[in-house]
Structure 1
Amino acid sequence: MTEPWRDPLLPVSVRVADLLERMTLEEKAGQLTAFWARPSDPGAPVAPVEDDSGESAPRLDQVATHGLGQLTRVFGTAPVTAKAGTERLASLQRQVTAAGRFGIPAVVHEECLTGFMTWGATVFPAPLAWGASFDPELVRRMAAAIGAGMRRAGVHQGLAPVLDVVRDYRWGRTEECIGEDPCLVGAIGTAYVQGLEGAGIVATLKHFAGYSASRAGRNMAPVAVGPREFADVLVEPFVRALREGGARSVMNSYTDVDGVPVAADERLLTGLLRGELGFTGVVVADYYAVSFLETRHGVTGSRGAAGALALTAGIDVELPTARCYGEPLTELVRSGSVPEELVDRAAQRVLLQKAALGLLDPDWEPAAPEAVDLDPPENRALARLVAERSTVLLVNDGTLPLRPCRVAVHGPYADEPRSLLGCYAFPNHVAAPGEPGLEIATLGEALGAAGFTVTADDPDVNVLVLGDRAGLFGRGTSGEGCDAESLDLPGDQAALASAVLDSGVPTVLVVVSGRPYALGTAAERASAVLQAFLPGEEGATALARIISGAAEPSGRLPVSLPRRAGGQPGTYLHAGLGGRTDWSSVDPTPLFPFGHGLSWTTFAFSDLAVDPEAPTDGAVTVSATVRNVGGVAGTEVVQLYLSDPVASVVRPQRWLAGFARVELPPGAAARVAFCVHADRTSFTGLDLRRRVEPGEIGVAVGRSSGDLPLQGSFTLRGPVRHPAADRVLSVPAEIVPVK
């Protein structure tokens, strides 16, 4: 007779309950641990390790004696082909199933922030570029393609997307974020989750919560924010990605918030995440975050105590390998210091997810080793499309698009293909010398392929490539642990730009970076300026197509571009006194505002219509006409902003509520109608409860947060209302062509 837990026809809750009853404490605790199989050769190129315990890594037979929860980055740790990776994964899974009494395989997780992070897989643009696209549907398609490759290789879980809202551009992980606005981050991040989950891969939201608000933009530095900023800005994208995206996993933030490390904060990981937001999936620790409670935060004095704190807070699985959740934790349970019910709680969540993934089924088999093409032509085409739609044209005096001519390509990264990639792209993340394992054109090569004559002698136009080289922990100018002291261009790039501009030759400035930089007078002197946020393996081809006019620059800034290198933080989402005032000598007005971006054509906005009023539990329609008044086809991103002139707490001057990409041929127009529910005006009140207040709400529609030609308002009437957990999170837009 088949044991109930192995019967796939039974409800997963019944199967898991039966399995838990059969398990010993050690077997349940084994499901909460992971194993990172790293090369034994100390000279092998591998991903960097953040562990500072000084201890040697355990062996698989030591970790998986009683079962194992997860296998860490079998593909994303050292260079390995897809076939060799699946062979190694199958071998590891056979060891895991043979070691445990129940023969349960491990969940396999990998990074996927710019694509499946393994040797030879497509490197898509970095998340800041996703935000610049303002195109959730395209991001959903990209995530589905990433998930399909991971699924075929035998991977179950992806550690993405990052939903941290950018608060300080100096933070090295800005490139991993989608933008500085919670509406944009929520919309794009939710689309990514839907694409990944739709492909059968468990999406992992990170980093919950507050990571991006670290002091001075320094990685892992303490966070000191008020409860309203925390709830209304930093947590808000997670709410939407959980509710509308259906993400099945969450990863904690490394930081402490007001002195409490998130990995030990039961109020956040259980009270807020599960109690208020209704999350029922698995919380995984960021790598070594449980250990850091002992080694970096200093809130415990032993491995077991760190494990007990994290387990109590709500972290179900310790990643990347077992240190605190193995024997040190079970010893505390045996002694009565830690309730066994906490182990049961976490093990149940892990096993429920394994059952849903088919890992408890009797016919489960590891993925068959095969020579999978992880960089097929359709992926490259999609990567190029994302790169094109996320490139932002900041300035243009008419020089672009260029007809074929003689161009000189200058700059420190003009001939370095890895400068196009983010820090979580395999060639930059893993210390792999030599070739990046992919065909990646430089901008000079791409311009040559597009018909230009690339020369250093007597060019008609200079193309100056500036920006970043992404890396980790000081190996780059952008990326995890690569924080900046100021927003000046790294090194001597500003001086180089000045020298090239002094030549008198028309110059197209191309900034390929992981954060916005203060370009100073270079932006005013250049004939044109293009901003690309680490556009991936097809980035050079996309930029060449835009420069030549074969493609349109339809990206919009997901972060403001500062006018000066100091004065951080400087995002657009601030109260009135956070902007330019007569009471401070510092003017934080950006050089280019959030949402800014030009096209090959021009657009006009007209005919704003706003429903005059709605109840505090109702909705209004805001509509406007956008017309292409130029001579070529183009795309405008219609942006809707709201404001609250009088509220019980200080509110931002304006906040993005909705947006729509509108493609129009010359002379054509479209009517864009936004349905704005009163919930989209809600905020955290004095009593720390979310509320909708009656009164006037300002409306503005235009092409950026700093260019809003249409202004209006509506009135909310009725009592103060406290929205429930099912509050409306988005503002849908309808686009209708008009004559």
Structure 2
Amino acid sequence: MTGSPWLSPDLVLEDRVSALLADLAPADFEAVALGDFTALTSRGIPEPHYVDAGTGLRGVGSATAFPAGIALAASFDEELAEEYGAAVGEEARRAGFTVLLGPTVDLARDPVGGRIGEALGEDPHLAGALGAAHVRGVQSRHVVAQVKHYVAYNGEKRRTGHGLEPERGDSVNVKVSRAELHDVYLRPFEAAVRAGAWSMMGSYNRLDGEYVCESRELLDLPREMWGWKGFYCPDFIFAVRDPQKALEAGLDLGALGGDGGRTPEMVAAADPGLLSRAVANVVRAMIGVGLVDHPLPPAGEPSSEDHRDLAFRAAVGGSVLLRNDGLLPLAADRSVALIGPCHDGAIHVVGGAASVSLNRSRITSPRDAIASRAGRVSLATGSVGDVPLPPVPASAFTLPDGSRPGVEVEFTDGSATGTDVLPQIDHTLDPADPGRAWPRAWRTLLTPSTSGSHRLSLTLGGAAHVRLDGVEIMAGGREVEQFISGPHYPMQTVVELRAGVPVALEIDYTPGPAITIPPMGLGPTLRLGWQEPGDRLDEAARIAAEADVAVVFVTMATGEGMDRDSLSIPGEQNQLVRRVAAANPRTVVVLNTPGAVEIDWADEVAAILQVWYPGERYGGALAAMLFGETEPGGRLPLTFPRTRADLPGQTPPGHAPETLDYDEDGGIGYRSPGIQSRGARFPFGFGLGYATTEAQVNSGRLADGSVHLDITVTNLGDRDTTHVAQVYARFDGENGRELVAFRRIPVHAGSTAQARITVYPSDLARWSDDAGRRIPVPGSHTLHVAQHSADEGIRVPMTITGAPVAPRD
């Protein structure tokens, strides 16, 4: 093999690829299409060896658990994103992987989307810029970045279909206009491709009736419009329903390992040109990213002190200070009451493919980190957070006719039905036998032994509607009750019950959304838990009143395989915040959530700090921010609405529509009509620091129509801070604005700092049917140099000349 031209770094990339292809026999091309890479590895070309790495390496116990993607998005920091990508790329390389499955650049169209936490927010420019930086970082370490999930995959409901395997029905069908597809959902992928991404993962969903991975039009689009020459893989198991159609459409590889349902006969009959292109795309990626010239080193420890320090900096840089009524930073001699899940119940990582196994020996909890800095710390449970609750005991259940203990269960296999009596609501359908009967309806009398507020949790793989005395109290669905290494995904509610008074409990259940993967232990489940009344809230209020400062921790668990049922904070956590704030107005609320939540108590507390899922350095980063050792650096990468109804994507609880109409005409997040007309609780781009800044702008117009913005920032405070300049464009004749540029500008206490941002005509582009591409929109536009999306900021005119483009309605 020595002397083989494809191994020579002196040749240009395409010559190396051509030389390798010329050395292959027809059977070799067919073997690669079936997932056998021997013909490549025997010639010195590494095969794709994949690792999920949304927030660190999944399944590698010693890997660094970095903050979730949404925290990275909140940093508004391209340099940090590139450093983050380089770190996870380096860890993948040290662990022996050649392809990193990430970053996730799906937009947060629906604010309850389960995977919002692993992605990069609601804005296509922000997601594109940070996704591109992440790609550059990963591939700088000679590892292929596989950008996901191409395209219009923005929620978990029916993403893999509905029904038990092998009869599982079609996945959700997304309907979107060509203009909206190009102006919104494709933009982050285009940015990643232009940053050099060598691979993309095809999504589960259908688009206008056709599976993305089986659509020649969609698979050809990046190749023809952006000149992309990388390779596609489909998402796990359910993204391809017709392997032959996907092969003929140009899906390079049939699966993330294996043949993906392709057969030797199918591949032998395929167009040889398609097979040749697929092999060329894989070979080009492996050589192009540097894996041939820089082979993988011997396997070693993935994590390092530098990476753990980066995890700390990313947690700080992505945390967003939403409110501060002069309370923060705290003085070290203050006594602090810590209330809520600040130790074992804290959520560090998102669930699903982006989850990371936590190395507990490296974790300092928020409780311990704060205790090491505060004058005195007191603790109160207050709430256990968003976790499954202990099982409701069998003694609380009586058959509907009152004759004896138990729960009446109606089973069905889809045709015949039968009934049984079970002692509790706790059932698992054997994943190795998906054809067996499943419990369609549960009926019982629930009799508590104490009076007061009872918190109920339903943990399930499937979908359920729960009623008490005929009134629906919970509705929703999950593919799984827990996905891989992340948190459990319970549904939660609080009801008032009286001791000794039975209430009719009914649960209608279907395993439909549940995925059944026996090797992973995944299958349909249903478990009912509760938490009986106690003095937790009273204790929390008492402990808070006795301290100088109260810190309340609020959690919400999400991840792959579920969408949130609402934006409401689960359980009794809202009540807890109010009780504590009433007892001590010097209350800080730490939001350990993946995205927006509805909060109508914001004005009742002194400070609110959004930390997202902050990774393994959560405790130390939080304590450092609270006590002023460093400043929360983030800005919101998505909108916090006043109510869920102000944002698009809403579906009734418990429903999973077969078709989703993306009819917003680009108006998602801060650009949605509800936010434009009623405003947000906290707008996109918003975030406070520990010092106040003031900006001035001088502008100039360049010959090509570009506008340069020279921004001078003055720090009016006595602490170092960072000003995040955000440039929004208001198109001629339109009311809404959209982000076109941003820049972090550090500035020392009492000093000034300067930065230049250039806005190009291409930054103000829209899809043109006539041109068949996005082109700059002619007109007299206005740039707003602002601090968030609702800030008028400083206006600067920008004129673009050329053929007219139809404005948005």
- Deviation of the 1:281 alpha carbon: 1.2
Q: How has the CA–CA distance of structure 1 residues 321 and 575 changed in structure 2, closer, same or farther, with 3 Å as cutoff?
A: closer
1:172 alignment partner, SS class: coil
Cα deviation code 1:637-696 (max 9, x no counterpart): 1111111132xxxx6710111111112223322344321111111111353532323321
CA contact (8 A) 2:670 2:683 kept: no
Question: Which residue, 335, 341, 362 being the options, matches 2:273?
Answer: 341
Q: What is the aligned partner in structure 1 of residue 562 from structure 2? A: 482
Q: What is the aligned partner in structure 2 of residue 269 from structure 1? A: 219
- The answer on 1:119 being equivalent to 2:61 is yes
2:85 alignment partner, SS class: helix
Q: How has the CA–CA distance of structure 1 residues 324 and 526 changed in structure 2, closer, same or farther, with 3 Å as cutoff?
A: same
Q: What is the aligned partner in structure 2 of residue 32 from structure 1? A: 33
CA contact (8 A) 1:643 1:653 kept: yes
- Deviation of the 1:111 alpha carbon: 1.6
- The answer on 1:313 being equivalent to 2:223 is no
Cα deviation code 1:388-445 (max 9, x no counterpart): 111111011111111122212112x32226612222588x566xxxx74542121111
- Deviation of the 1:376 alpha carbon: 2.0
1:283 alignment partner, SS class: strand
Q: What is the aligned partner in structure 2 of residue 630 from structure 1? A: 717
CA distance in structure 1 between the partners assigned to 2:44 and 2:752 by the alignment: 62
- The answer on 1:449 being equivalent to 2:449 is no
Between 1:18-27 and 1:219-228, the stretch displaced more is 18-27
Q: How has the CA–CA distance of structure 1 residues 11 and 452 changed in structure 2, closer, same or farther, with 3 Å as cutoff?
A: same
Seq. identity, %? 31
Query: Which amino acid is 1:633 matched to?
Result: D
- Deviation of the 1:5 alpha carbon: 6.1
Query: Which amino acid is 1:131 matched to?
Result: A
Q: How has the CA–CA distance of structure 1 residues 218 and 442 changed in structure 2, closer, same or farther, with 3 Å as cutoff?
A: farther
Q: How has the CA–CA distance of structure 1 residues 640 and 32 changed in structure 2, closer, same or farther, with 3 Å as cutoff?
A: same
2:758 alignment partner, SS class: strand
TM-score (normalised: structure 2): 0.70
Q: What is the aligned partner in structure 1 of residue 513 from structure 2? A: none
CA contact (8 A) 2:52 2:353 kept: no
Cα deviation code 1:490-517 (max 9, x no counterpart): 2332222223223235211000111211
- Deviation of the 1:235 alpha carbon: 0.9
CA contact (8 A) 2:646 2:672 kept: no
> When the two structures are aligned, how many residues end up with a matched partner?
611
CA distance in structure 1 between the partners assigned to 2:158 and 2:177 by the alignment: 16
Matches within 5 A, 1:565-644: 565-569=644-648, 577-581=673-677, 587=678, 589-606=679-696, 608-611=697-700, 617-644=704-731
TM-score (normalised: structure 1): 0.76
CA distance in structure 1 between the partners assigned to 2:789 and 2:230 by the alignment: 36
CA distance in structure 2 between the partners assigned to 1:144 and 1:257 by the alignment: 33
Q: How has the CA–CA distance of structure 1 residues 365 and 690 changed in structure 2, closer, same or farther, with 3 Å as cutoff?
A: closer
- The answer on 1:293 being equivalent to 2:293 is no
- Deviation of the 1:451 alpha carbon: 3.5
- Deviation of the 1:197 alpha carbon: 0.9
1:206 alignment partner, SS class: strand
Q: How has the CA–CA distance of structure 1 residues 269 and 501 changed in structure 2, closer, same or farther, with 3 Å as cutoff?
A: same
CA contact (8 A) 2:135 2:145 kept: yes
CA contact (8 A) 1:486 1:566 kept: no
CA contact (8 A) 1:614 1:715 kept: no
Q: How has the CA–CA distance of structure 1 residues 259 and 622 changed in structure 2, closer, same or farther, with 3 Å as cutoff?
A: same
Q: Which structure shows the higher strand fraction?
A: 2
Cα deviation code 1:331-363 (max 9, x no counterpart): 1244x4x323322221222233344467779xx
CA distance in structure 1 between the partners assigned to 2:283 and 2:716 by the alignment: 58
Q: What is the aligned partner in structure 2 of residue 172 from structure 1? A: 114
Q: What is the aligned partner in structure 2 of residue 228 from structure 1? A: 179
CA distance in structure 2 between the partners assigned to 1:505 and 1:714 by the alignment: 47
Matches within 5 A, 1:127-206: 127-206=69-148
CA distance in structure 2 between the partners assigned to 1:217 and 1:28 by the alignment: 32
CA contact (8 A) 1:171 1:212 kept: yes
Query: Which amino acid is 1:345 matched to?
Result: R
Q: How has the CA–CA distance of structure 1 residues 491 and 165 changed in structure 2, closer, same or farther, with 3 Å as cutoff?
A: same
CA contact (8 A) 1:170 1:218 kept: no
2:38 alignment partner, SS class: coil
Q: Which residues of structure 2 form unaligned runs of 5+?
A: 162-170, 380-542, 650-666
- The answer on 1:461 being equivalent to 2:534 is no
Q: How has the CA–CA distance of structure 1 residues 221 and 495 changed in structure 2, closer, same or farther, with 3 Å as cutoff?
A: farther
- Deviation of the 1:129 alpha carbon: 0.6
Q: How has the CA–CA distance of structure 1 residues 350 and 580 changed in structure 2, closer, same or farther, with 3 Å as cutoff?
A: closer
Q: Which structure shows the higher helix fraction?
A: 1
CA contact (8 A) 2:67 2:349 kept: yes
Q: What is the aligned partner in structure 2 of residue 711 from structure 1? A: 795
Q: What is the aligned partner in structure 2 of residue 76 from structure 1? A: none
- Deviation of the 1:719 alpha carbon: 4.4
Q: How has the CA–CA distance of structure 1 residues 634 and 13 changed in structure 2, closer, same or farther, with 3 Å as cutoff?
A: closer
CA distance in structure 1 between the partners assigned to 2:749 and 2:16 by the alignment: 61
CA contact (8 A) 1:284 1:317 kept: yes
Q: Which residues of structure 1 form unaligned runs of 5+?
A: 35-63, 70-96, 295-305, 469-476, 582-586, 723-739
2:115 alignment partner, SS class: helix
Matches within 5 A, 1:182-581: 182-212=124-154, 221-243=172-194, 245-270=195-220, 272-289=221-238, 292-294=239-241, 306-324=242-260, 326=262, 328=263, 330-334=264-268, 336=269, 338-356=270-288, 367-369=297-299, 372-404=300-332, 405-411=334-340, 413-416=341-344, 419-423=347-351, 428=355, 436-456=359-379, 457=543, 458-468=546-556, 477-504=557-584, 506-521=586-601, 523-569=602-648, 577-581=673-677
CA distance in structure 2 between the partners assigned to 1:551 and 1:508 by the alignment: 17
CA distance in structure 2 between the partners assigned to 1:221 and 1:443 by the alignment: 40
Q: How has the CA–CA distance of structure 1 residues 403 and 576 changed in structure 2, closer, same or farther, with 3 Å as cutoff?
A: closer
Q: How has the CA–CA distance of structure 1 residues 214 and 698 changed in structure 2, closer, same or farther, with 3 Å as cutoff?
A: farther
